Amino acid sequence: MRRSLVVLLALALSGCGTMAAPAVLPATSATSATSAKLSAIPHAHPQVVEPLAGAEPVAAVTTAAVSDPVGDPNAQAPSLSEIRMELKLELVYARATNSVYINPLRYVTVWERTDQGVDAVMPTGAPILAPGRIKILAVEPGWYAGQPLVYWELLDGPDAGKVQYVAEEITDVATPGLILSQGQVIARFAPSGTGIEFGWSTPSGVTLARATTGYEEGQVTPAGQSIRAWLNALGAGAGRG
């Protein structure tokens, strides 16, 4: 009886030992699986990025670095005198020389008013002469009352680079692009019309009076007074208008 109890106790202890061993194995297997998963996760590898030759450095963008796309709210428009100065500079193309001009309107019989330029009357067929060496710039066929305007650039003399015009009662007008020598015919006085007007122009064909001070019909302008004084200096006898 005592021997049977000893055998049963031994078997019981043996069973307990067998149950203990498998309890350790699952823990070891889970640890291996976790290690495998961790090794599979990609890790960052710090690198130094070298700039390319000639490349601009990239600056950090901050609120202070962002500029307002709107212009200066305190900026003011240029004054009328500044605009007039810019127009004056745009008229200069040829270099001034010591050449002397001739009176282009030597055949005028009646001098009339001063407005955008100087108005005058001539005998039919009388020529308007090139005061110096000039280049015909363009012709506007219907400038006023269906009558043309031709304007040209002075290529020599003290006013080289400035532009002049003659308009209204003219015919036989020189072709644009021609370079005329002093004394050659720009146009001739037509049989009918509203007389001629001779004055300063701009390269765009707008009279200097309109481009600077503006003009209303019959108004005396500084540009008109200037061209009358210019003609008188050449002996035209145009009076004061």
78-83 average pLDDT score: 52
* Residue 38 φ/ψ region, left for φ over 0, alpha for ψ in the -120 to 50 degree band, beta for the rest: alpha
Residue located via tokens 């009358």: 228
Which structure tokens are listed for 5?
Answer: 């109890």
In the chain, what are the domains? 110-233 (2.70.70.10)
> What are 114-136's pLDDT values in tens digits?
899 999 999 999 999 999 999 99
Comparison of pLDDT for 236 and 84, the residue scoring more: 236
Which structure tokens are listed for 170?
Answer: 């003219």
Strand order in the sheet with 118-121: 110-114, 118-121, 196-201, 163-168, 147-154, 134-144, 179-180
Q: What is the mean pLDDT of the chain?
A: 75
> At residue 204, what is the residue type?
S
> What are 3-27's pLDDT values in tens digits?
554 444 454 444 444 444 444 444 4
Q: How far, in Å, CA of 233 to CA of 159, rounded?
A: 13
CA 172 from centroid of its chain's CA atoms = 38
> What are 29-66's pLDDT values in tens digits?
444 554 554 444 444 444 444 444 444 444 444 434 33
- The confidence band for 203, taking pLDDT boundaries of 50, 70 and 90, is confident
Q: How far, in Å, CA of 22 to CA of 24, rounded?
A: 5
> What are 172-188's pLDDT values in tens digits?
999 988 999 999 999 99
Number of CB atoms found within 10 A of residue 8's CB: 9
